[in-house]
Structure formats: C-alpha cells, structure tokens
Structure 1
Amino acid sequence: MLALSLVAFVGCKKDKDKQKEVTVDNLVGTWEVYKSYYADEDGSEWDDEWGAAAGYQSFLIIKANGTGVMEDIDEGYKSTTSFTYKIEPGYVTITDSYGDTERWTVKSLTDKGLVLESVYGNETLAIYYKRIK
C-alpha cells in the first residue's frame, strides 16, 4: 500500500512538471521573474538573480483577453506597462503600450514555470519565471 501511494505521489509530481503547449489557457496567470541569463557577441555572459531578496521584483501578468501587464518593483518604486500579446506555435509576441514589439521563443512552459528567450544577432536573453497565481 505504501509503495502504491509513493508511485501515485511521484506520478502527480511529474504531471505538474510536464511541458505544456503554448496556449492562452496555459499562459494565463501571474509569473514572477526569478532569474535572467544574458550572453553577448563578445562571449560575455551572466546570470542575474531576481526577487524580493535581491531587491528587484518583476512580474508578468497575462490575461485571457490577449492583454497583460508588466510590473516592476525596485527599491519600493512600482512601475507598470500594459501590453497585448499574440500566440504562435512556440512563440509569444508582445507589443507594449509604447508600441514596441518583441517576439519571444517559449523555451519551456509547465504548470510551475516559464522560460522566454529572445535572440538579437549574437545576443541572447532568457528570462526565467515561476508561476505565483
């Protein structure tokens, strides 16, 4: 009985970490940045830690109606930028309220996490999110 319970528990955990299709239903929610990765054409690269402990928080709030909000909190100062988005297989294109458009590759999407990547020539930016709602 204990072995069967353990198998059921492990099976449920794996389901939560299973890759999801890039759809509105799977993206809707509030995502908090916990890490970013950047590499440039000179071969320089670095990881940045994010979150309350690091002193800087950033949230991506995706709504079902094709809109959302980017919210940043830095030393108590809060700024927000609204956006619209479009989903294509494996991609999310975001247009902010200033008219700037960026196409992001969805490198990973699970119930708990989201990784978006943008490549400009020889520069790569990856942003790692955890779902908080």
Structure 2
Amino acid sequence: MKKLIYAMLALSLVAFVGCKKDKDKQKEVTVENLVGTWEIYKTYDDGEWDTEWGVAVGYQSILKINANGTGTMETIEEEYRNTTSFTYKMASSGTITITTSYGDTRQVKVKSLTDKELVLEYSEYGATYAEYYKRK
C-alpha cells in the first residue's frame, strides 16, 4: 500500500512539474516574437547579479523592438533620460546584430524567449553578460 501511495505521489509530482503554462513556453526566435516593449528587471555582469532595476529603485532600461528592423533603448535614471536608436539584423541561429545610431555594433544571442520574458547574452572583453527583460 505504501508503494502505491509513493508511486501516486511521484506521478502527481511529475504531472504537476510537467504542466507549464503556455505563456512560459519557449518561443521560436523570430522578429514577430521579439517585437514589443521590454524592460530589464535583472542583469548578470561577469559573475555578479544586479536586481536593482525598475521604477521602485529609480533606474529603468526599456527596449523597444519594431518589426521593421529598428528599435530604441531608453535609460531612465531619476530625472535623466537617454534614448539610443538602433537597427538590427537577425540570423537564423538566434543571434542578433545590433548597430546603434552612434555606429557601435554588438552581437547578442537570444538565450530564452517566452511571451513574458526575453534573455539576451553577449560577450565583451572576455566576460559574459546577460540581460533579463519582462514584456511591458
């Protein structure tokens, strides 16, 4: 009897863990799925996590991706606002090449994409960085 109870409990646990909401399901990395407004809620900077993002802490970074290959990144810090325009090209591998209006180019990899979250990763000067966005 105990074995049957443990088996049922294990089966229930597997069923519960295996059932994710559709909104948490990984999306294909396409322009259509990336288009929208995204806000950083945490970053990973070469071994350090930074979770102090958002209106509550007075620092926001908002990424707007348009369907026509353009976008903006707006940084808001108290009374300071800076908006940078960019163009982007997407490779089939989920790598995006971003070129800012200043002429800077960076390649980022889409590590994760769901209806609610976008995770971008890039390397610079031998270090790995990641930016975690939530859809606005």
TM-score by length of 2: 0.81
> C-alpha displacement at 1:29, in angstroms?
0.1
TM-score by length of 1: 0.83
- Report the equivalent of 1:35: 42
Q: Does 1:91 align with 2:111?
A: no
Q: Does 1:23 align with 2:30?
A: yes
Between Structure 1 and Structure 2, which shows a larger proportion of strand residues?
Answer: 1
- Report the equivalent of 1:47: 49
Instruction: String of CA shifts for 1:14-72, please: whole Å, max 9, x gaps.
Output: 21111111111000000000000011xxxxx2111211112200000000110000001
* Rounded Cα–Cα distance in structure 2 between residues aligned with 1:21 and 1:63: 17
- Report the equivalent of 2:114: 110
% identity of equivalent residues: 65
Q: Which runs of 5+ in 2 are unaligned?
A: 1-18
Q: Which runs of 5+ in 1 are unaligned?
A: 1-10, 40-44
Superposition misfits of 4+ residues, deviation over 4 angstroms: none
* Rounded Cα–Cα distance in structure 1 between residues aligned with 2:43 and 2:112: 14
CA RMSD of aligned residues (A): 1.7
CA contact (8 A) 1:107 1:116 kept: yes
For 1:68-87, list aligned pairs within 5 A. 68-87=71-90
Q: How many residues align?
A: 118
